[in-house]
A and B are shown apart, each in its own frame.
Chain A
Amino acid sequence: MKVKVISRSADEFTRERSKDLQKVFHNFDPSLRPQEKAVEYVRAVNAAKLDKIFARPFVGAMEGHIDAVSSMAKNPNRLKGIFSGSMDGDIRLWDIASRRTVCQFPGHQGAVRGLTVSTDGQVLVSCGTDCTVRLWNVPKATGSESNGSSENSSKPLAVYVWKNAFWGVDHQWDGELFATAGAQLDVWNHNRSNPINSFEWGSDTVNSVRFNPGEPNLLATSGSDRSITLYDLRMSTPTRKIIMRTKTNAISWNPMEPMNFTAANEDCNCYSYDARKLQEAKCVHKDHVSAVMDIDYSPTGREFVTGSYDRTVRIFKYNGGHSREIYHTKRMQRVFCVKFSCDATYVLSGSDDTNLRLWKANASEQLGVVLPRERRKHEYHEAVKNRYKHLPEVKRIDRHRHLPKAVYKASVLRRTMNDAERRKEERRKAHSAPGTSTSEPLRKRRIIAEME
């Protein structure tokens, strides 16, 4: 007969010396692990709860301005700095790590409405209600950020005075031109004191302007005639315009899908459009309860952050109808500008209460150096939570956010109003002859007209 029996020698399965690692053996057979789905479900519930325990998104506030923060700009070449301009003309460069002012740029007489940095990161362009465009030299990174105590102030490189107040400015992502929004759209070169080109469609002011990240000659503006206009610098006239029911406060292009842009509107929604097909919005992002003031995309192109007049900052998925995260503080008043940091980890908000606030983009993320084991643990928690996130217990824990009472009440009110509107619409349809009344989707309903 042939016989063999399981025999294990202890030295094969235990470590030799105490400084060796313990030996680990794997057998992935599912029969050794009964009820693995139930175990995964319990882990998903625990992961959701842990997420909530570690969700501390507020990192810090940067104080220094003495009036509301009206605009911000990020330097595409440097991660640690942010420029902010306030309503009294004060422009500061902040070091985000130490949350201190590195450099001040005094000079503007009125509110600073727009800030932008040139492609190489050397020149800061600012414009304001005092009808001037000022160009400044950005101080070098070495040395100046380490000694945070000394605050330098620099003199402007150039001051260009023009005929009317400016509302916004943006620089090409890859070029030498920048555009300002005022009574009309002006395109400037750094060296010329007059704009090299001017576009106008209609007689209303242009509120904001944004260059396309992919196509250097394409830009989008929003005007106070509730329109969004697309321009191509190579042509002499603007290309396309859509008029909506309410004014758009800000626009941001998706850096990963440069044909899409999202517009932050006064009617508390954000509308994502495909620039080639402007008849209807791609997606409507609804969650704010008051006008959305500013919007910025994450460099991954998968999320964007919005700041609104209702004192909250929300983060949306690029194709999601509702926000994934909301940030609010008692001390933060109306949010006028938001920026997503260039490494997609932080979100900055500038608000009415003269502070810039730094938040984490993922509220329960562990910052700093993450060991490989920790990283795997976080990834596992994320994956197991996503697998069971449709189950009621996990969903309830994951979705729960505390809202300020005003926002909660306002959202309840909006919901009842919307429900009433919808019910009336349904009854109108039911009581009219079949086929006469057609319902338009919300993506189309808010657009009045499209023009070429």
Chain B
Amino acid sequence: MSEEQKDTPPTDTQPGMSKELDAKVKKYLRGDGINLEVVKDKKLKGQLAVREELYGKSASVAANAEKWLLPSEGGYLEAEGIEKTWKIRQEAITQDVGISSQKNQFDIVLQDLGPYTIDFTPSGRYMAAAGRKGHLALLDMNSLNLIREMQVRETVRDICFLHNEMFFAAAQKKYPYIYNRDGIELHCLKEHGAVLKMQFLRNHFLLSTINKLGQLHYQDVTTGLMVNNYRTGMGRTDVMQVNPYNGVVALGHSGGTVTMWKPTHTSPLIKMLCHHGPVSALAFHPNGHLMATAGTERRIKLWDLRKFDVVQTLHGHASTLEFSQKGLLATSSGSRVEILGNFSNPNKYKRYMSHSMAKGYRIKKVLFRPYEDVLGIGHSMGWSSIIIPGSGEPNFDTWVANPFETAKQRREKEVRSLLDKLPPETIMLNPSKIGTVRPFSKKEKPSKKERESEMEAAIADVKDAPMKKKTKGRSKPSKVANKKQEGIVRAKRPFLDEQMKEEEAIAKKKQKLAEEAELPKSLQRFARKQAT
């Protein structure tokens, strides 16, 4: 009698490790299971139980795969003794890391072509840099090769990759242009106008831009269709970010408000007052729940987007904000970059690292390179790259983003992602609502207290309003008093009307019920007619 060989990985005997595994399993379950007790239908209950079991199994398999099968490990930086991590300088790190990582630290000095913005492809392999005076460059970061550079001889305000490194868009002086990887100008997008900031929504293939007049445009880059354009109505702004979790575009305005937009809705989904002064920078955490905003009043606030509540307020200037794949927050002001991390407590961001560049360098953009522990900095004298251990996701998925992509794989991926292109209607604040049943919502009536308070507020407004003093004997005290009374009655009327309507409805219902109880069913239709 021989026992079967089971192909499962060895189970952990240590309780600590199993707790870790539980946390991982929870991540892969993507939410809570359903409560099977309330389901009365036996057939449905059986089917749901089978399904829940399958989910559990697949989540535990994925957790085990994550534990044992992932090829790379993440980076970290630990200070020893009295050392503080934010005092550690880049030169000190260079000495301790391997040669292949040392080449990730560099400074490219191009002083006459204006402050540079940068953008990375989703795999982190290619970088596009644009200087304000018209210098566009495309680089391969694996080999640090310059693929293409050109001078467009116009102001370039922003640069953005489309779905892969073959296409990028540059926001030039009058309109944005789309270029090929070889530098060939493919399209001139005239409808967008003078664009300040551009963002590409990857799953939807939508290029969203905000221009000098405060207009937001959404264009589908596969068909060229302009999905929609909106006048934000809040003036000129160049703070724009897309939330990668749900595809919602957020704009920060000079009044301190942050508005969130989706292409199928003319008014903003959310309007929140974040700062007392203008919003200077905005960033989204990749999990979609955390948003960082910076205002000119020297505050950086971290918001929880599920409750729209402030989680943390930090002091400091920030002209740019950016989250990394692992949740590190990079802020920059002037020539200094500060990295904040939430290692010990997920709700509190503390100083992790900092880097100051030579005096006179004004940092325009910071961007973390995906799948690498690298921060790209675009500044007034060119661009640089520094090492931030622990910022990148160490394990990439070949079917999502592959830094070692061949041309054939890139072409296949393009076709597959086009087949999976999401329609613009799928952009919503909570993307997991798709496929769920819309709950039956009853119209909420304001409670009695609320109504009374509203009425009193209206009356108080009228009472306090100053009465105009009329001459020639027309402002006698009795007349003034009458007029005031009239004003109060007018203010009260809508509330009283509502009350009366409700009372009538209740009375009718009562009558109906009473009548229904008295008369047999076949005569009820006549009873109702008699009442009216």
Q: Is A6 part of the contact surface with B, judged by Cβ < 8 Å?
A: yes
Find chain A residues with CB under 8 A from B343 CB. Answer: none
Find chain A residues with CB under 8 A from B80 CB. Answer: 1-2
Asked if A4 and B76 make an inter-chain contact with CB atoms under 8 angstroms apart, the answer reads yes
Asked if A32 and B76 make an inter-chain contact with CB atoms under 8 angstroms apart, the answer reads no
Segment of B146-154, B214-222, B387-395, B506-514 in the binding face: B387-395
Question: A320 CA to B406 CA in the complex, in Å?
Answer: 50
Q: Is B277 part of the contact surface with A, judged by Cβ < 8 Å?
A: no
Asked if A28 and B422 make an inter-chain contact with CB atoms under 8 angstroms apart, the answer reads no
Q: Shortest CB–CB separation between residue A393 and chain B, in angstroms?
A: 10
The closest CB in chain A to the CB of B73 belongs to A4
Find chain A residues with CB under 8 A from B77 CB. Answer: 1-4
The closest CB in chain B to the CB of A38 belongs to B426
Find chain A residues with CB under 8 A from B16 CB. Answer: none
Q: Is B46 part of the contact surface with A, judged by Cβ < 8 Å?
A: no
Asked if B72 and A42 make an inter-chain contact with CB atoms under 8 angstroms apart, the answer reads no
**Known contacts A26-B397, A29-B66, A39-B203; A5/B426 CB under 8 A:** no
Q: Is A370 part of the contact surface with B, judged by Cβ < 8 Å?
A: no
**Residue among A32, A40, A431 with the highest chain B CB neighbour number at 10 A:** A32
Find chain B residues with CB under 8 A from A26 CB. Answer: 65, 69, 397-399
Q: Is B78 part of the contact surface with A, judged by Cβ < 8 Å?
A: yes
Q: Interface readout for A4-16 with B: 1 if CB under 8 Å, 0 if not?
A: 1111111011100
Question: A93 CA to B422 CA in the complex, in Å?
Answer: 54
Q: Within A14-30, which residues are at the interface with B (CB < 8 Å)?
A: 14, 22-30
**Known contacts A3-B93, A3-B389, A28-B66; A33/B400 CB under 8 A:** yes
Q: Is B235 part of the contact surface with A, judged by Cβ < 8 Å?
A: no
Number of chain B residues close to chain A: CB under 8 A: 69
Asked if A32 and B435 make an inter-chain contact with CB atoms under 8 angstroms apart, the answer reads no
Q: Shortest CB–CB separation between residue B81 and chain A, in angstroms?
A: 9
Find chain A residues with CB under 8 A from B101 CB. Answer: 5-7
Asked if A38 and B395 make an inter-chain contact with CB atoms under 8 angstroms apart, the answer reads no
Q: Within B65-99, which residues are at the interface with A (CB < 8 Å)?
A: 65-66, 69-80, 83, 85, 88, 92-93, 96-98
Asked if A46 and B288 make an inter-chain contact with CB atoms under 8 angstroms apart, the answer reads no
Q: Within B54-72, which residues are at the interface with A (CB < 8 Å)?
A: 62, 65-66, 69-72
**Known contacts A1-B92, A46-B419; A34/B426 CB under 8 A:** no
Q: Shortest CB–CB separation between residue A236 and chain B, in angstroms?
A: 41
Q: Is A157 part of the contact surface with B, judged by Cβ < 8 Å?
A: no
**Residue among A6, A22, A25, A40 with the highest chain B CB neighbour number at 10 A:** A6
Q: Shortest CB–CB separation between residue A33 and chain B, in angstroms?
A: 6
Segment of B4-12, B242-250, B295-303, B487-495 in the binding face: B242-250
**Residue among A4, A42, A431 with the highest chain B CB neighbour number at 10 A:** A4
Question: A271 CA to B452 CA in the complex, in Å?
Answer: 64
Asked if B76 and A25 make an inter-chain contact with CB atoms under 8 angstroms apart, the answer reads no
23 contacts between A and B (CB under 8 A): A1-B80, A5-B104, A6-B74, A6-B101, A8-B403, A13-B403, A22-B406, A22-B409, A26-B397, A28-B66, A31-B286, A32-B393, A33-B400, A34-B203, A35-B426, A37-B432, A38-B203, A38-B422, A39-B420, A40-B435, A41-B434, A42-B423, A434-B521
Question: Which are the 3 A-B pairs with shortest beta-carbon distances?
Answer: A38-B426, A27-B397, A28-B62
Q: Which residue numbers of B lie inside 8 Å of A, CB to CB? A: 27-28, 30, 62, 65-66, 69-80, 83, 85, 88, 92-93, 96-98, 100-101, 104, 142, 203, 244-247, 286-288, 371-373, 387, 389, 392-401, 403-404, 406, 409, 419-423, 426, 431-432, 434-435, 521-522
Q: Which residue numbers of A lie inside 8 Å of B, CB to CB? A: 1-10, 12-14, 22-35, 37-43, 46, 387-388, 391, 430-431, 434
